[in-house]
Amino acid sequence: MTKILVTGAAGFIGFHLSQSLLNRGDTVIGLDNLNDYYDVFLKEDRLTQLKNKSNFSFHKLDLADRQGIAQLFDQQKFDVVVNLAAQAGVRYSLQNPHAYVDSNLVGFVNILEGCRHSQVKHLVFGSSSSVYGANTKIPFSVGDNVDHPVSLYAASKKANELMAHTYSHLYGLPTTGLRFFTVYGSWGRPDMAYFKFTKAILAGQPIDVYNYGKMQRDFTYIDDIVEGIIRVIDKLPQANESDSTSTKAPYKIYNIGNNQPVELMHFIQVLEDCLGIKAEKNLLPMQPGDVPMTYADVDDLVKNVGFRPSTSIEVGLEKFIAWYTSYYKT
Ligand SMILES: NC(=O)c1ccc[n+]([C@@H]2O[C@H](COP(=O)([O-])OP(=O)(O)OC[C@H]3O[C@@H](n4cnc5c(N)ncnc54)[C@H](O)[C@@H]3O)[C@@H](O)[C@H]2O)c1
């Protein structure tokens, strides 16, 4: 039985991951500060589901609370840590940059220090496709240069990868960073486009479509993300993995994406079909910090953990809508 700390357990990905880990019999300690970046009731409802399981316990704690995090690591002796607590969102990083520094930089150092001092066996952490910035070479590969982020959010994720590598190198802490590509699904995030679109369409309100709908995203269904994370948890990075992203440190980066970019306008069309309602669209230019395309090369994931995300948007969106309409009783 493995004892796993999941930070951001009340968040979208952390909640789904915790559920799967609990179902396979792991002991999960969830951590979250339940901040109000989006609807706190949704976070609490996710937690209520997790608290039904006897192998789950929860700590309401901020990653930036240095003493609190150090104490938790001292007391608990985790085998594995999955860090999914972060200030997410690209556009919000233009409005509130300090939130990204507090949670993603200060908070991440506290996690690294906790892992180092309590000899955690594997730290897995959430990075993002946004580290690829406005790269035009597709698909995006983990060996590509990612030195030109176009938002502070992306910069904070790239910083996490650098910080993790340092701890792997200096202290032999095994770390794996996962670059997630636009994740969607049940119990999703209300700040994300697909969620806002659904809400607006059902309310008969117009939707804001950026870059005139010509953006392409490698939309990845939540179940595929969770499957990828779990396989990676069980695969310790090796000190001598000879690819361009690793040195002699036990450190590894993977893309987890659907490997099949979809144009935003097509995504909206599938959403309209699922809902049986045509959307009224406000066609708008691209927003600062946004990128025109994301597209994951997942060869490493396939090679090392034998998994390729494959849920189509037709299947994934139908599941999302089924959850949305039942949760909000629309
Ligand atoms: N959802 C996506 O499309 C996507 C894409 C790429 C990367 N990611 C990354 O995956 C991770 C999880 O994302 P998500 O979609 O589940 O987001 P989320 O916002 O739903 O979950 C994050 C959770 O962390 C908590 N949190 C934030 N700051 C905290 C702090 N300082 N201390 C304690 N808890 C804190 C929040 O309350 C929230 O419940 C994040 O690192 C995010 O950047 C997500």
At residue 1, the pLDDT reads 75
Nearest CA to ligand 1 atom 20: 11
The structure tokens listed for 52 are 């039904």
Which of 153, 194, 251, 295 is the catalytic position? 153
Any catalytic annotation for residue 254?
no
Q: Which CATH number fits domain 3-181+222-257+296-309: 2.40.50.100, 3.10.20.30, 3.40.50.720, 3.40.190.290?
A: 3.40.50.720
Q: How far is the CA of 242 from the centre of ligand 1 (A)?
A: 31
- How confident is residue 243, by pLDDT bands cut at 50, 70 and 90? low
Q: Which residues are within 8 A (CB) of 253 and not within 5 positions of it... i.e. 6 or more apart?
A: 127, 142, 161, 176, 177, 178, 179, 245
Relative to the CA of 63, which ligand 1 atom is closest? 32
At residue 246, the pLDDT reads 54
Q: How far is residue 20's CA from residue 248's CA, in Å, rounded to a whole number?
A: 32
CB 84 within 8 A of CB 14: yes
At residue 241, the pLDDT reads 65
Q: How far is the CA of 276 from the centre of ligand 1 (A)?
A: 31
**pLDDT of 234 strictly over 70:** yes
- What is the rounded end-to-end Cα distance, in angstroms, of the chain? 41
At residue 214, the pLDDT reads 94
Domain boundaries, the chain: 3-181+222-257+296-309
Q: Which residues of 109-138 are buried (b: 16+ CB within 10 A; e: fewer)?
A: bbbbbbbbebebebbbbbbbbbbbbebeeb
> Please, how many CA atoms are within 13 Å of residue 279, restricted to the half-sphere of its CB?
27
At residue 15, the pLDDT reads 99
The structure tokens listed for 139 are 């698909």
The structure tokens listed for 48 are 């209520």
Residues whose beta carbon lies within 6 Å of some atom of ligand 1: 8, 10-14, 32-35, 43, 62-64, 84-88, 103, 107, 126, 128, 180, 182-183, 189
CB 87 within 8 A of CB 102: yes
At residue 239, the pLDDT reads 87
Relative to the CA of 64, which ligand 1 atom is closest? 31
> Please, how many CA atoms are within 13 Å of residue 259, restricted to the half-sphere of its CB?
17
Predicted structure pTM score: 0.97
Q: How far is the CA of 329 from the centre of ligand 1 (A)?
A: 26
The DSSP letter of residue 312 is -
Mean pLDDT to the nearest integer, 152-174: 97
Nearest CA to ligand 1 atom 10: 126
Nearest CA to ligand 1 atom 11: 84
CB 111 within 8 A of CB 89: no
What tens digit of pLDDT does each residue of 72-124 get? 999 999 999 999 999 999 999 999 999 999 999 999 999 999 999 999 999 99
Q: How far is the CA of 240 from the centre of ligand 1 (A)?
A: 31
Q: How far is residue 125's CA from residue 133's CA, in Å, rounded to a whole number?
A: 19
